[in-house]
Chains A and B, each alone.
Chain A
Amino acid sequence: AQSVTQLGSHVSVSEGALVLLRCNYSSSVPPYLFWYVQYPNQGLQLLLKYTTGATLVKGINGFEAEFKKSETSFHLTKPSAHMSDAAEYFCAVSGKSGGSYIPTFGRGTSLIVHP
């Protein structure tokens, strides 16, 4: 079984400030981890993913995330927020559990960026 917990349904930052969106996962098998972003009236788009190898993963738009096995975390960060980063962010986990790779998602975190 696998699950994802995203702490904070809303995160508010000022433009130029650090963005930190938290994600903790639970998985009985080595996880694949994903961050997706959803802009208004659009589908979920992949920001970045971790499968194996380097634990610090870089994605699009300056975002990155670090896989920390000991903390079962995959937090998403960006050094400097931009107004265009305002969106809904979803963390997801998958892994070969019972032969299934179906991703399990969190409830999402809405990022609000103030001028």
Chain B
Amino acid sequence: EPEVTQTPSHQVTQMGQEVILRCVPISNHLYFYWYRQILGQKVEFLVSFYNNEISEKSEIFDDQFSVERPDGSNFTLKIRSTKLEDSAMYFCASSQSSGANVLTFGAGSRLTVL
């Protein structure tokens, strides 16, 4: 069964460093998403991406964050200068369409900022 893959599974970084989280969505999906979950809190929406541009973003997704689809397969989330509060599990997801369509999630990338 097709799956969404995320790398790395766990990254530890120093505050102020740049981090890039990578995702390979399902090949025939058109919509891509990043969510995050701080330990013990809700899974929060960050950004959605369609047709090579951001379609929606939340208040969390400030200028520190950026997303890119550099080629036909990868979808990346970059955090320019990490803060302690960026420590979380980051989930990538993709879907064939919007609406009531189901999102397929990756296993997540755990980011720890020291």
Binding site for B on A (CB under 8 A): 4, 9, 32, 34, 36, 38, 41-46, 49, 51, 90, 94, 96, 100-108
The count of chain B contact residues (Cβ–Cβ below 8 Å) is: 28
Given contacts A36-B105, A43-B107, A44-B105, whether A105 and B42 have CB atoms under 8 Å apart is: yes
- Minimal beta-carbon separation of A108 from chain B (angstroms): 7
Binding site for A on B (CB under 8 A): 3-4, 6, 9, 33, 35, 37, 40-45, 48, 56, 91, 93, 98-108
Among B37, B40, B41, B100, chain A packs the most CB atoms within 10 A around the CB of: B100
Nearest-CB residue, chain B, relative to A101: B98
**Cα–Cα, bound, A19→B50 (Å):** 38
**Cα–Cα, bound, A49→B103 (Å):** 11
A101 interface neighbour in B37, B99, B104, Cβ under 8 Å: B99
- The answer to whether A51 and B100 touch across the interface, beta carbons within 8 angstroms, is yes
A49 interface neighbour in B43, B48, B100, B105, Cβ under 8 Å: B100
Given contacts A44-B105, A46-B102, whether A90 and B43 have CB atoms under 8 Å apart is: yes
A100 interface neighbour in B3, B6, B56, B91, Cβ under 8 Å: B56
- The answer to whether A42 and B56 touch across the interface, beta carbons within 8 angstroms, is no
- The answer to whether A107 and B100 touch across the interface, beta carbons within 8 angstroms, is no
Given contacts A42-B107, A43-B108, A105-B42, whether A34 and B102 have CB atoms under 8 Å apart is: yes
Among B6, B33, B93, B105, chain A packs the most CB atoms within 10 A around the CB of: B105
**Cα–Cα, bound, A21→B23 (Å):** 31
- The answer to whether B43 and A108 touch across the interface, beta carbons within 8 angstroms, is yes
B48 interface neighbour in A32, A44, A102, A105, Cβ under 8 Å: A102
**Cα–Cα, bound, A44→B106 (Å):** 7
- The answer to whether A49 and B41 touch across the interface, beta carbons within 8 angstroms, is no
Residues of A within 8 A of B43 (CB): 90, 105-108
19 A-B residue pairs with CB within 8 Å = A9-B40, A32-B99, A34-B102, A36-B105, A43-B3, A43-B91, A43-B93, A43-B106, A44-B103, A44-B105, A45-B105, A46-B102, A49-B102, A101-B100, A102-B56, A103-B45, A105-B45, A107-B42, A108-B42
